[in-house]
Amino acid sequence: MTRRYCRALDLVDDPQLIADYERYHREIWPEITGHLRRYGIAEMEIYRLGTRLMMVMETTEDFDSEEFARRSLADPKVCEWEALMWRYQRPTPWTPPDEKWVAMTRIFSLTEQK
């Protein structure tokens, strides 16, 4: 069984920077994909509308977000990637200080409807 996480983040409102961000995401660094898979992320998709991003993450049942965060901070290549991406990213107006991707609240599920 997998778990799903939906998170939001904004981009800098600059068409060239947005194009560069999308180019980086067409084929991210193999060290990053390896890291994601190694620590329990089974699938990840990012969608964009204007400058708003939405990430959908499917994780293994034993995924531990705190452990993932610790491992990410300890990995030099992940830190390099995150620093590069921060050039393009901005927190949403609702993002707490010192955070990036913020969890979204699910408000509807078709499977839970009668």
Coil, helix or strand at residue 106: coil
Q: What is the pTM of this model?
A: 0.91
Predicted confidence (pLDDT) at residue 13 exceeds the cutoff of 90? yes
pLDDT in tens, 43-82: 999 999 999 999 999 999 999 999 999 999 999 999 999 9
Question: What sign does the CA torsion over 77, 80, 85, 90 have?
Answer: positive
Residue 20: CB atoms within 10 Å:
14
Coil, helix or strand at residue 42: strand
Domain spanning 2-104, CATH class: alpha beta
Coil, helix or strand at residue 65: helix
Spans of all domains in the chain: 2-104
